[in-house]
Amino acid sequence: MERKYIEQMKLHAGMSVGELVDEMGKAGVFGAGRINRAVEIYETIVSDTESLKVMGVAGALVPGGLRRIIRDLVKDRRVNILVLTGANVTHELVEASGWRHEKGISSVGDAALREMGINRIYDAFVRNEAFEGLESRLREYFASIDENRRKNGLGSYELFRELGLMLDDDESILRTAARNGTLVLCPGIFDSILGLHIWIFSQQNELRVDLRRDLQKIIDTYFQSKKISALFLGGGIPKNYILQAAMLTGRALDYAIQITMDRPEPGGLSGASLQEAQSWGKVKPEAEWVDVIADATIAFPLIVAATLERLDRKQDELKVE
């Protein structure tokens, strides 16, 4: 076997994110090596015009500050299908409707926060007034949708397109997706505050969300695609939804990147390796894949920034030629 030596990373003042990741790649092992490998694969994904680009987002990543990065990827058409948890859609709607998440602290009395009307997500805070205001706004949004459509049932992707076109926030993921034709799916929509408000509205008004339409849509889209790539931020429902559609359609993933803090030993899907997914026919044996064991709020911005830098670098090289 050919010997490949680990190069010690070299840093200098003013180096770019791309240069930092290049140094990680020269070392090439442990978490640093996986970050670099993720950038290599993601650059391939973004550049492959034949590949359907799917992203799964679980965890509190909108409150964690990743909303604009995801929105920019949607805007630049580097995502074709976005699968979100109901919580991330809820927090996206909070921001899109004019409220904000706040910096807090983790070591605080939660009973006291309750008295203050503050909800804690580790060291991020969101106030009750945001959810109360969103409740009122959602009633207006739902009522604005054609009653016949509400009665006949909408897939979550159809509901989000309607909502996205109503939002007046250029930083909104849903608004950008609606304008770009990006498919946004939420298979666990009722497992969220948004889902609760859909149910509350439906007690006195017609509003059916038919998740079978979502499944039909993603299956049809997979069948129409030559290649499929996936970027998983966390696991949960989004990860399983993306992978089960690959298994059902026989369109196993050609490229896959997973960023997770979960472990495989307990047997849960969120910590399962992408290699394990090959046994289910969800990831091709010859696929390019990597598991990055890291906090997505750290790893995802590094991977995206370094990938964009490499793409710009290649564009500059082509101009010189």
Q: Which of 53, 75, 239, 282 is catalytic?
A: 282
Q: Is 282 a catalytic residue?
A: yes
* Sheet-wide strand order for 124-127: 102-103, 124-127, 118-121
Let me know: does 8 contact 32? Beta carbons within 8 Å.
no
Residue with tokens 């979550």: 156
- 5 Rama class: left (phi>0) / alpha (psi -120 to 50) / beta: beta
Please give the structure tokens belonging to residue 320: 């010189």
Q: Where are the beta strands (DSSP E) in 27-85?
A: 51-57, 81-84
CA angle 49, 77, 304 (to 5 degrees): 90
Let me know: does 157 contact 214? Beta carbons within 8 Å.
yes
Burial (CB < 10 A; 0-12, 13-18, 19+), residue 82, is buried
How many CA within 13 A on the CB side of residue 130? 22
Tell me the DSSP string of 184-207: EE-TTTTSSHHHHHHHHHHTTS--
Query: Smallest Cα–Cα separation from 182: which of 63, 93, 71?
Result: 71
- The C-alpha atoms of residue 54 and residue 240 are separated, in whole angstroms, by 13
Within 8 A by CB and 6+ apart from 230, the residues are: 54, 55, 56, 242, 243, 246, 253, 255, 256, 257
Let me know: does 241 contact 56? Beta carbons within 8 Å.
yes
Catalytic residues: 282
